[in-house]
Structure 1
Amino acid sequence: MRLSRFFIPILKENPKEAEIVSHRLMLRAGMIRQQSQGIYSWLPLGKKVLDKVNNIIREEQNRAGAIELSMPTLQSAELWQESGRYDAYGKEMLRIKDRQDRPMLYGPTNEEMITDIFRSSVKSYKDLPLNLYHIQLKFRDEIRPRFGTMRSREFMMKDAYSFDLTREGAEHSYNKMFTAYLRTFDRLGLRAIPMRADTGPIGGNLSHEFIILADTGESEVFCHKDFVNFDIPAENTDFDSVDGLKSIFDKWTSLYAATSEMHDEAAFNAIPEGERLSARGIEVGHIFYFGTKYSEPMGAKVQGPDGKEHFVHMGSYGIGPTRLVPAIIEASHDENGIIWPESVAPFDVVVINMKAGDEACDGTCELIYAALTKAGKDVLYDDTDDRAGTKFATADLIGVPYQIIAGPRAVANGEVEVKDRKTGARETMTIEAAINRFVA
């Protein structure tokens, strides 16, 4: 993509309404634009990052055996009345009526709808276990939306819902998602700490939040420092192995007896002082096992091997992609802008033409741009006639992992400069070596 043809409305000044780093940088980098309170458009640069985040989430859900579908954003109030949550959910739910005066709602979550889909289609234990997921926009009428897309009213969620015949089977499904979440956040360049959590309006009696450490986080984290250093499950993890996934869950939760979200509790104080971790964090995922909370009132049951009908055991598993993007920025930035992990960067590399219109610089940049694009790399080519300082500032602000800089003097010697955005390290190399650096 040539920068001269790309839509990226860079802001030179810090927006006054932005309270935290990620909100400020997302606005300045032209990733998002606010349309109304707590509601944002995702502009091309932001959309590219969001898509890459969703792809990683999707790959790990598929690896764990979940199956993707798509559910509507508008839901019938009747389903929520069946479950008993329509009146209990509160003012965060946006309630509306259609032209036939039927009560509807803009879905804040999908437990009721997925239960309805299940009960109308699955009748036998032979079709279990089953895990269905989707990635969809949702709406919660937050009383105080803030921090950009970190806490917005309209947001994107990946929701997965598991169905099992027994509690034991449901716990295995829970461990699948627990493991998949550890892998997902690691691939996003994050180390997420799983912590026991309240189930809130979702319900149930087993729940974990996944929290990344960040100074601007709303949550307080008090735990054993080893939580930050545990190994991540491998790509070839056997998700069908009950014992294998239980061992992963047990390994990550074995220190819970000595951890607490409240630092004044005895469990946290029992940890040796040098091994304590006290920090702030951002919730980026939440998983729940809630048994038959929805299947019983909504009649979601299957015939078991004993010939009798059984209410299924369910769980739900959420990740917020539109929350993850600013969370990544909070965890990875400097005074010049964003530093994207390579896995979610909007572009793999930016080629910077230091003297657009110069025959040698133009030719070199076109050569590099064509070679990297042909090799399948996502390349941004800064072919603008902006000043050098502006070009460098833009490249640093948008956080592309690598910069290939072509100036007249270096090009005359058959060379370019390669800069690592994360470390700031610069290396002069031949044009061929620079191309091979990214295509080999």
Structure 2
Amino acid sequence: MESADLEALLTEAKESMEAARNYRTELQQRLLGLTQARRQIKDSAAQTRDTLKQHFLDVKGAVIKLLDERLQALIQEVDTIAQENIKPLDECQKLLEQGVSTAEDLLKDGEIALSCMAQEPENLCNFTNKAMHIQLDSLPEVPSLVEAPCLSAQLDDSFLSAARNHISKHCTVASRPPILIEELIERPGGILVRWCKVDDEFVAHDYRLQCRKNVASHFEDVYVGSESEFIVLHIDPNIDYQFRVCGRGDGRHEWSPWSVSQLGKTTLVPHEWCSGFEGYSLSSRRNIALRNDSVSHEVLYSKAATYSSGQTLTFRVESVGQLDKRDSIGVCVEPQFGYESLQRDKAVCISTSGAVFVNGKEMTNQLPPITPGSTITFDMEVVSLGTSNNNEGPIHKRRVTIGSNNREVVFDWMLEQTCDSLYFGCSFIHSGWKVLVF
């Protein structure tokens, strides 16, 4: 065999071995996924059994307690009725017993008077006088058996039928939760969580999203509402977080089973305002800026160029102050100190009145004025690379979308320099403005 043929065979053998290694790795990954799926079925089945057993044990205890309380209430009612109706009978019995005793005493006196009538006739006279003062013809009224109460219990045999009907429909078992997390998107200092329904019969009115930093900690609520996505902020970079979501129907109190938990993390550092700017105070995480005086009119910039194309930069205005045409919120290539607004070259911004500025020029299109709670978003992507008219250098064109109060403005931003990431900034002439960035 010639050396060239041997070399070709050797190359083919190496390629086959490499393909076999890749094939083995893929199969092992699938075996791992299969093992995880099997473990999820077994673990969720065991947890569901325990949940059902505990639930029915709790319900059984609660039902027994309610039945015991109802039984005691009914017995107490029987005792009360019996006592109230026996009391007049006791009084009547007392009168009758007193009358019997009086009659017996009178009979004894009469027998004595008759036995000694010849010797002591005055005793017979005394006896007749005594008998005249006793009303021997006056008898107390005694109720007949028809008039006396006769207690009974009215039993409700339909209770067991109704209980059997409710119990037969109480709780259900599903092969998977009605809601699942479909996407985890990293954001600077946060994670965008999106979820969706997988059970068409389940009608969700509210959703509940929970998060925890590690397995040892407890899940905590981060969102409850009607939206099917939420940005979880204050996420530490390069650390796994676990998320789960559930839902409930309109007018119901109980939540659905939790979705399968998903792990997510962000590699993007959080957006921060730069500290030390006169006229602004920052929150502890430096993602909220408050304009607290009107002495200095300088632009407040970000700590670093942390905004990149393909991402969404969001500002939420927590509170507002007096409007000024120089107010601005936006992004820029680099900080330029000495300016009192981002309405300048190498920057795009929106003013508090809704006007949009590109490289210092106001656009014809305008967004609604900013109000408390307004959310302003910046999205951009590099669409082309060309040359300037005087051939002095390349022109970088970015497609920019600014959104505010459910309206958008889309335009192309021309830059004569390349920059992978941008700074953001804001400027307010008057105090009272408070802005969160994420």
Shorter-chain TM-score tier: under 0.3
Q: State TM-score, norm by structure 2.
A: 0.25
Larger Rg: 2
| Structure with greater helix percent | 1
Higher relative contact order (CA 8 A, sep 6+): 1
